[in-house]
Amino acid sequence: MMTDEDKYEIDEYRTEDFYICVCDISGIDDGLDMSLFSEYRKQRLSSLKPRGARLCSIGAELMLIHAIRRCMPDYVLPASVRTDKNGKPELAGQSGVYMSLSHSGTKAVCMLSRRRCGVDIQKAAGDNQRIAKRYYTELEKAECGRGGFTRIWARKEAVAKADGRGIAIGFDTYDVCGNICRVGNDEYNICDIKAPAGYVIAAAYKK
């Protein structure tokens, strides 16, 4: 069966370490066929009332379906998704395959990797000094002065998702200015992904 993800223009990025796909969700129909949606997604949608929030959630699922088709053609949809102890979604029964989803504004993105991973998309915004003062290291604050506030935030989110603890990781405890970030005893590669105009995308995966 074809799903509505086939109707949208999708940008794809692939390396030997990960696969990422991103699309614009502004034209998604809230009443589309969801027969290939995971039970995890259907349950989340049942509790979402604002149309914007529903479209973002639908877009994330469409990107997951697309990524699975690209990278795991033998996988039988719908996806079996569960959450770990920290609430991070993962593909059940797929040892060694990690996923991460994100959405912002009218964009949704999915990342699949053989390593623990995290992806984050942010709509570009001006510097927020209050947030930077609370969560950014001195090096990261210097990047803000060069217009990099959103880039730093996306990188922090990507690492936090890869780690699995989300914001509970303590955003002020690690620095994401370089290509490698250390969190406790773990190290993560960080990279910026080419994003649609007005957006920033960052990806992180365990070394």
Question: How do residues 124-141 score in pLDDT, each as one tens digit?
Answer: 988 898 999 999 999 999
Asked if 134 and 181 sit in the same domain, the reply is yes
Q: Is the same domain home to 8 and 86?
A: yes
Choosing from 79, 114, 149, the residue where a domain stops is 114
Is 146 in the same domain as 62?
no
Residue that terminates a domain, selected from 58, 82, 114: 114
The pTM is what?
0.93
User: How is residue 191 written in tokens?
Assistant: 């990279």
Report the pLDDT value the prediction gives residue 32, as an integer from 0 to 100. 83
In this structure, the answer to whether residues 41 and 14 fall within a common structural domain is yes
Q: Is the same domain home to 10 and 71? A: yes
Q: What average pLDDT score do residues 76-99 get?
A: 89
**Range of the structural domain that residue 87 is part of:** 4-114
Number of folded domains that form the chain: 2
SS (H, E, C) the chain: CCCHHHHCCEEEEECCCEEEEEEECCCCCCCCCCCCCCHHHHHHHHCCCCHHHHHHHHHHHHHHHHHHHHHCCCCCCCCCEEECCCCCEEECCCCCCEEEEEEECCEEEEEEECCCEEEEEEECCCCCHHHHHHHCCHHHHHHHCCCCHHHHHHHHHHHHHHHCCHHHHCHHHCCCCCCEEEECCEEEEEEEECCCCCEEEEEEEEC
Same domain, 126 and 109: no
Look up the CATH number of the domain holding residue 12.
3.90.470.20
User: Are both 44 and 18 inside the same structural domain?
Assistant: yes
Residues 177 and 87 in one domain: no
pLDDT in tens, 15-55: 999 999 999 988 787 678 899 999 999 999 999 989 888 99
- pLDDT for position 3: 52
In tens, the pLDDT along 45-83 reads 999 989 888 999 999 999 999 999 999 999 999 999 999
Separation of alpha carbons 20 and 65, rounded Å: 12
- Residue that finishes a domain, picked among 114, 146, 174: 114
| 101 and 8 within one domain | yes
Residue 23 shares a structural domain with residue 102? yes
Assign residue 153 the CATH number of its domain.
3.90.470
Query: 181 and 89 in one domain?
Result: no
In angstroms, how far is CA 139 from the centroid of its own chain?
24
**110 lies in the same domain as 129:** no
